[in-house]
Amino acid sequence: MSGASPLLPLAGPAPPPSLGTPVDACSIDDGCITCGDVAVALRVVEADAYDARCRDETGREEVVATDLVGPVAAGDLLLVHAKVALEKLTA
């Protein structure tokens, strides 16, 4: 898919930039990520020390910072809020 290139170089410097142009990620009318206290469960596909490429069951992928939950490995399930993992889930 054009533009969506979630495959980070999994070692080395921080994630490659992709410009945060205006997308209303969270609309007031339909609940929003921050004020709705939204978090989602994502499965780790590939991980390095600080980031993990994660996927949900519909195939959508996202790169997530894992500093707050310690080391993760492929197959782990994470609770993710605003691209940051808050908890490793046991399920």
Partner 1 sequence: MRFVDEYRDPELARALAAQIASLAEPGRHYKIMEVCGGHTHAIYRFGVHDFLPETIELVHGPGCPVCVIPMGRVDDAVAIAEQHDDVILTCFGDMMRVPGSTGSFLDANARGADIRMVYSPLDALRIARENPEKQVIFYAIGFETTAPSTALTLVRAKGEGITNFSVFCNHVTIIPAIKAILDSPDLRLDAFIGPGHVSTVIGCRPYEFVPAQHGKPVVCAGFEPLDVLESIAWIMRQFAEGRTEVENQYARIVPWDGNPQALRVMADVFELRPHFEWRGLGFISHSALKLSSRYAEYDTELRYPVPGVRVADPKSCQCGEVLKGVLKPWECKVFGTACTPETPIGTCMVSSEGACAAYYNYGRYAKKRMHVEV
Partner 2 sequence: MPKQFTEHEVIERIEDMRRRRPRFIDEHITMSHGAGGKASRQLVEGLIVPALENPTLAALGDAAVLALDGARLAFTTDSFVVQPITFPGGSIGELAVNGTANDLAMVGARPAWLSAALILEEGLDAQVLAAEVGAMGAAARRAGVAIVAGDTKVVQRGKADMLYITTTGVGAVPSGVAVAPELVRPGDKVLVSGTIGDHGVAIMLARGELDIDADVSSDTQPLWPLAEAMLEACGESLHCMRDATRGGVATVLNEIALATRLGVVIDEQRLPLRPEVVGAGEILGIDPLYVANEGKLVAFVAPEHADAALDALRSHPAGADAAIIGEVRDEPEGRVLGRTTFGGHRMIDMLVGDPLPRIC
Residues lying near partner 2 in the complex (CB under 8 A): 1-6, 15, 18-33, 36, 38, 40, 56-63, 83
Dihedral in degrees, nearest 10, Cα atoms 3, 8, 13, 17 = 20
Within 31-50, which residues bind partner 1 (CB under 8 A)? 31-41
Distance CA 35, CA 29 (A): 11
In the chain, DSSP assigns E strands to 40-47, 51-55, 61-65, 77-81, 84-89
Q: Residue 87 Cβ, how far from partner 1 at the closest point, in Å? A: 5
Among 1, 58, 73, 75, contact with partner 1 (rule: CB under 8 A): 58
Binds partner 1 (CB under 8 A): choice among 47, 54, 69, 72: 69
Distance, CA of 77 to CA of 80 (rounded, Å): 9
Q: Please give the residue ranges that form the binding site for partner 1 (CB under 8 A).
A: 13-15, 17-41, 56-58, 65, 67-70, 77, 79, 81-84, 86-87, 89, 91
